[in-house]
Structure 1
Amino acid sequence: MCFFVGYLFGAKAATILLFLCVTVATLQLGAATGILAALTTIIFNVLYIDPRFQSSSRAVIDTVVMIITASVLIWQAHAYRASKREQRRVSLRAQKSERNFKEAEERFHSALAAAHAGIYRLDLKFGTAFRNASLNKIFGLMDKEAVFPINDFKMRIHADDQPRVDQAIGRMIQLKSSFSEQYRVYRADGSILWIKDRGTVILDERGEVEAVTGTMVDITDLVQAEESLHRSQEQFRVLIESIKDYGLFLLDLDGNIISWNVGAERITGFSDCEAIGEHLSTIFATTMTSDLPDRTRSELREAREKGIWQGERWHARKNGTYFLAQELVYPLQRSGEVYGYAKVMNDITLRKKAEESLRHSEARFRQLLEAIPQMVFTATPKYSFDFANQRWLDYTGLSQTQITREGWSTLFEPSEVAETTQIWKAASELKSAFSHELRIRRADGSYRWHLCRAFPILDAHGQISEWFGTHTDIEEQKQLQNELLRAKQEAEEVSQMKSAFLATVSHEIRTPLSAIIGFSRLLVEESWSEEKMKEFAQISLRNGYALSRIIDDILDLSKVEAGKLEIAKSDISLQELLSEVVESLSVKAMEKGIGVSYRIEDTVPETFLSDPVRLRQILINIIGNAIKFTVEGEVQVSVQAEQKDIGRTLAIYVKDTGCGISEPNAQNLFQPFQQADTSTSRKYGGTGLGLALSRKLSQLLGGNVILLHSAPSEGSTFKVELPLLAKAPQAKRVNKRVEGATAALPMQARLTGMRILVAEDAVDTQLLIRQILQRQGAEIDFADNGQQAIERAESKDYDIILMDIQMPVCDGYQATRTLRSRAFSKPIIGLSAHAMREEHDKILASGCNEHLAKPFDPKRLVDLIEVLGARSSESVKA
């Protein structure tokens, strides 16, 4: 371009353009490009632009000037370009530094807030102070930065600490240094905080202090913890140092002394610097025995294992004198780990010597008192022990010196010390005899009742010089009194339990009885449709069965408690038994709208050996309870065989979704006559016998009933455990099949042609039996008492007799025995409202073939008559 400009406009214009191009090239592309542009332009300008280069001095000078000028322009343009680049780099670094500073500042403020710390600045020239948000938060002020007068800052310093803080800040300003103080400040709400203040000065350009800046940290918790620790340490130190009569050694695990008290220094004769850090056996190295290290290790080991070691040892002091020490060693524990030992040592040398001296001086007096068959003692006018005979010492296990030193308080039952002392003081004031019953500690630590009698011995001035007394053991008499009192209390408790039980039973009996009487009255007093009459009869029947179950439970429980309930084991089909129980309870479940299901695992055998009657009773109680206490949901019964150490067991789980049982109430769940609480009893009813009876019955069967889980509103799960025993002998299975076959016969006309004599004095029962037996085709005669029964049985040929036990004129026992004595061989069935085992055995012993308890099941009565009648016919044919 310079070439064309020079060609058109001349060399001067080309030169100007040269300098412009060189400058632009250098600014845009750098010095190297500027130099290249300058050289190229100069060459073209000299060689090709007129006037062309000539070898004259003028031309050379012009060329040199042009080169120098271009170089200067290149250097200046390069310097300008370099400065611009540096400015951009500095600007970028400044921006990055600013970002990093902001991030660091944010982290710093976050760290201050987390550490309960804040920043302040005191401007001394303007008298203002700055607090950041964290510091304001510490002072309980607004949670943001603020500027305020310096005096406001000073006003927050506790008055007691103000002079010290002012002095520290003044010294810092004077020395132009920094300071660190901890002091108290007031928060906005008036409460007091401890803070740690670290500050430093800020100098102006003249080197004068213009401001103070620093940080404050809330150290209240730390100060309080340190004060608490200091108080504890000081209390411990004062306590230890105050025990001057006893030497206390603190040992590490190896037996090295880490601390001791003044008493230990006095006893051993060593100083702190001589003993601390040394092994305990080293301090007593001059002892008269050579096995001290082994003994020390043995003491520490026994203290660690048993919690304490105690004994008496002879030791040598630093000066070589010997002393007898009574010693105790305790392990020191932290979080269950032993970290050291405490050894307490008492110099008992003088005491032992005094005991020996006293023993010799009073030997004759003691021998005299030993002949007295009493616990004898003497006491000073101030009631302090003076002497006790050997019987006294043997009883208490104390020595004469111990009794003299420790006095009465260690021997009497602590609660009786004040009363005994008061009575003795009263006797002392009246100078009269002392007599009082109190408990005295025996050598084994137990207390026995004694009658203490003491008589004052008066001197010539009529003042008490000594007490002489005896202690008589009256423990047996006191025990008898206590037993009588305990028997009275137990009788009262039994009476209360009896009243509560009678109230519960009365309620439970009257409830079904009310339904029976009520619906029976409706049937008698009004006319009803056949459907209604049947409904009323079913209700009465259902309540009658409920009443019978209550009575059976009471009787069974009493038999179990008396140990007179007999178990009759036979083969049981659990499928049939469980199906029967669930079916019998399904009506109640359907009425409540809840489901009842059961499942038997394949591991359960088809039959096993147990008592079907008692197992049915257990299942009815447990499943019936589950239905009773379940409002919605279902009751699930699952059965499985489990292997235990004792063998295979049958596990029956009964789970419900009922109200559940709280932990406190579950503890008494299997106690007789108790339910979860009174409100449950009122809501759900029951005698509280079911679970208690079920557990006792299961235990008689070799198992148990337990509550696996229960919680309020979560339902309950009970488990019935029974042993899976081998099958019963074949004979029992045959008998079972016979009874089952008999029970399966049709209900109608099963007794056709049978002549039956019914001995029963109750007209209603006569009517009931007539209705039952006439429907079966039997011919029936009645006798109102035992005497009539004897007469009619001898005057007419009856196939069977139903004999009531309690009748006027002649009871059923006597009537049966009379008939048997007169060769009456036909079957006799005893009827009785008594269901106890003794009654059952007594009835059979009188000559009856069977016993049927009232109220009886009509079907059971017919079955029994049919079976006995059939056996009687077979024996006649034979």
Structure 2
Amino acid sequence: MLRAIHQIEETSEQATKASASLSKTLKQQDKMFAIIGHELRTPAAALNMQLNELQLKEQQNQQVKEAHATSQHLLEVLDDMRVGTDTSLIMESRVETQLSVYRLIKEASHTLFYTADRFGIDIQVRGMSDDLHVGYKKQIRQIIINMTKNAIVHSQGTQVILDLSYTSAEDQTNYQLQIIDNGKGIPDKDVERLFEAFERGDTKASGTGLGLHISRELARSLSNGDLVFSPNPEGGAIFTLSFTLKQAKHEEAAAAAAKEHAIKGKKILLVEDTATLRMLGKTILTREGAEVVDVENGQLALDAYSKQSFDLIITDIMMPIMDGYELTETLRSWGATLPIIGVTGATVGNEADNLLAKGADRVMPKPLNLDQLETALKEIEAN
């Protein structure tokens, strides 16, 4: 009996040590993810915002449009990394906007043209629906990009077809998009495994093993959404994306185009240490009618706050001298009740949760997005 008790105590002690070691490792990994996410996303966000500004000036320049779409794809890859560690994040920062599914498909095919050319793949788009709908544009675009790129890179075929079909009923439309390749196909025994995170099939091409997993999770977060596999009778694979969108009424579309942004007339304190992001952030906020004071760290933000009043603070988190954590915590300790919204590059670790714990109202990924900002402000006001 004594021997058994001793063995139990030894096992318990070993388990405690193992748990402590695992906890330390997870904390180190989380910190590493945050740093990697920040270092990658900050320049990617700056590039995306610069190309967006250039696109506004040169709306007819197709190369600028494609470069902007490519930078958006890079940001979505970083989002894939983040969701790959926690699928509950799929529901975060979702914004309903007007969209055309057909245009999203065409944009995806243009974005991946050079990749397809490198792999000797011919991309075709079939079917057409230019009607405007209301839905989660970013998520739908991400699925289309992920699945099309998968077919190009991994199918080992010569052709990828994006075949769009739909049925309309009352005020909504049921869409089906088939991503069809003529490659080597997928063995039945591997199908379900390949839908899991970080799993890869028999392919020589590089990849994270996240595209298919994330795409199905995103699809199932949409209304009546799903992503399913079926073998191509002519050889290859078919992935069918299905979802339902609300139709946009013409009068609502006109009203949405004419309405003022929620930040119009507000005085905003913008805190960002990256000069390019600070400049571009101030530009897009000012364009929507806000008065903006921009500073490069938390200490300067406190100095500005102590001298004048603001309606909203938008702050980066990782900054020199004083970071967003200390800034937020200090402001709340001073009794500040105005909305504080974090905008961060470190979207892979738990930086957002930490800032919320310090008293921030919302945290959004870089780059600063006006639609997400408006949604956040409405949610804060409603609460």
TM-score tier after normalising by the smaller chain length: 0.5 to 0.7
| C-alpha distance after superposition, 1:348-386 (max 9, x if no partner) | xxxxxxxxxxxxxxxxxxxxxxxxxxxxxxxxxxxxxxx
Distance in 1, Cα, partners of 2:65 & 2:79: 21
Residue 783 (structure 1) shift: 2.6
1:672 partnered with 2:193? no
Partner of 1:362: none
Distance in 1, Cα, partners of 2:187 & 2:179: 17
Residue 622 (structure 1) shift: 3.0
Partner of 1:547: 74
Partner of 2:274: 762
Distance in 2, Cα, partners of 1:570 & 1:535: 28
Residue 695 and residue 752 in structure 1: after superposition, are their counterparts in 2 closer, same or farther (change >3 A)?
closer
Partner of 2:125: 596
What does 1:614-629 correspond to in 2, within 5 Å? 614=139, 617-626=142-151
Residue 856 and residue 670 in structure 1: after superposition, are their counterparts in 2 closer, same or farther (change >3 A)?
same
Partner of 1:581: 104
Residue 703 and residue 632 in structure 1: after superposition, are their counterparts in 2 closer, same or farther (change >3 A)?
closer
Partner of 1:864: 374
Partner of 1:123: none
Secondary structure of the structure 1 residue equivalent to 2:208: coil
8 Å CA contact 1:622–1:654 kept in 2: the answer is no
Residue 779 and residue 834 in structure 1: after superposition, are their counterparts in 2 closer, same or farther (change >3 A)?
same
Letter in 2 for 1:579: Y
Partner of 1:744: 257
Residue 570 and residue 758 in structure 1: after superposition, are their counterparts in 2 closer, same or farther (change >3 A)?
closer
Distance in 2, Cα, partners of 1:580 & 1:843: 37
Residue 672 and residue 807 in structure 1: after superposition, are their counterparts in 2 closer, same or farther (change >3 A)?
same
Secondary structure of the structure 1 residue equivalent to 2:326: helix
| C-alpha distance after superposition, 1:782-817 (max 9, x if no partner) | 333222212211201334322112223433233223
Secondary structure of the structure 2 residue equivalent to 1:594: strand
Q: 1:705 aligns with which of 217, 227, 231?
A: 227
8 Å CA contact 1:594–1:633 kept in 2: the answer is yes
8 Å CA contact 2:99–2:133 kept in 1: the answer is no
What does 1:683-722 correspond to in 2, within 5 Å? 686-698=207-219, 704-710=226-232, 714-720=235-241
Residue 632 and residue 764 in structure 1: after superposition, are their counterparts in 2 closer, same or farther (change >3 A)?
same
8 Å CA contact 1:813–1:846 kept in 2: the answer is yes
What does 1:798-877 correspond to in 2, within 5 Å? 798-835=310-347, 839-857=351-369, 859-860=370-371, 864=374, 868=377
Aligned residues: 324
Secondary structure of the structure 2 residue equivalent to 1:830: strand
Q: 1:663 aligns with which of 187, 210, 215?
A: 187
8 Å CA contact 2:272–2:278 kept in 1: the answer is yes
Distance in 1, Cα, partners of 2:101 & 2:258: 23
Secondary structure of the structure 1 residue equivalent to 2:315: strand
Residue 598 (structure 1) shift: 3.7
**Percent identity between the two aligned chains:** 27
| C-alpha distance after superposition, 1:806-833 (max 9, x if no partner) | 2234332332233234343433321112
Partner of 1:792: 304
Letter in 2 for 1:805: I
What does 1:343-382 correspond to in 2, within 5 Å? none
> RMSD of the alignment, in Å?
5.5
8 Å CA contact 1:627–1:635 kept in 2: the answer is no
| C-alpha distance after superposition, 1:605-648 (max 9, x if no partner) | x999x97765554344335544666744632133469xxxxxxx
Distance in 2, Cα, partners of 1:538 & 1:594: 19
8 Å CA contact 1:661–1:676 kept in 2: the answer is no
Letter in 1 for 2:316: D
Distance in 2, Cα, partners of 1:827 & 1:809: 23
Unaligned runs of 5+ in 2: 1-6, 23-28, 52-56, 117-121, 169-173
Secondary structure of the structure 1 residue equivalent to 2:86: helix
Residue 551 (structure 1) shift: 0.8
| C-alpha distance after superposition, 1:270-310 (max 9, x if no partner) | xxxxxxxxxxxxxxxxxxxxxxxxxxxxxxxxxxxxxxxxx
Residue 652 and residue 752 in structure 1: after superposition, are their counterparts in 2 closer, same or farther (change >3 A)?
closer
| C-alpha distance after superposition, 1:413-442 (max 9, x if no partner) | xxxxxxxxxxxxxxxxxxxxxxxxxxxxxx
Partner of 2:25: none
Letter in 2 for 1:565: L
What does 1:425-574 correspond to in 2, within 5 Å? 541-560=68-87, 564-565=88-89, 567=91
Residue 674 (structure 1) shift: 4.2
Residue 802 and residue 742 in structure 1: after superposition, are their counterparts in 2 closer, same or farther (change >3 A)?
farther
| C-alpha distance after superposition, 1:520-542 (max 9, x if no partner) | 9xxxxxxxxx99xx788656534
Distance in 2, Cα, partners of 1:836 & 1:741: 38
Secondary structure of the structure 1 residue equivalent to 2:338: coil
Residue 553 (structure 1) shift: 0.6
Partner of 1:526: none
Residue 665 and residue 694 in structure 1: after superposition, are their counterparts in 2 closer, same or farther (change >3 A)?
same
Residue 539 and residue 721 in structure 1: after superposition, are their counterparts in 2 closer, same or farther (change >3 A)?
closer
Letter in 2 for 1:635: L
8 Å CA contact 1:651–1:719 kept in 2: the answer is no
Letter in 1 for 2:374: L
Residue 588 and residue 818 in structure 1: after superposition, are their counterparts in 2 closer, same or farther (change >3 A)?
closer
8 Å CA contact 1:801–1:827 kept in 2: the answer is yes
Secondary structure of the structure 2 residue equivalent to 1:761: coil
Residue 781 and residue 599 in structure 1: after superposition, are their counterparts in 2 closer, same or farther (change >3 A)?
closer
Structure with larger Rg: 1
Residue 655 and residue 774 in structure 1: after superposition, are their counterparts in 2 closer, same or farther (change >3 A)?
closer
Distance in 2, Cα, partners of 1:776 & 1:634: 40
Distance in 2, Cα, partners of 1:752 & 1:611: 24
| C-alpha distance after superposition, 1:129-187 (max 9, x if no partner) | xxxxxxxxxxxxxxxxxxxxxxxxxxxxxxxxxxxxxxxxxxxxxxxxxxxxxxxxxxx
Residue 765 and residue 868 in structure 1: after superposition, are their counterparts in 2 closer, same or farther (change >3 A)?
same
8 Å CA contact 1:766–1:782 kept in 2: the answer is yes
| C-alpha distance after superposition, 1:578-599 (max 9, x if no partner) | 3353243242477766331346
Secondary structure of the structure 2 residue equivalent to 1:807: coil
Secondary structure of the structure 1 residue equivalent to 2:276: helix
Distance in 1, Cα, partners of 2:320 & 2:232: 54
Residue 552 (structure 1) shift: 0.5
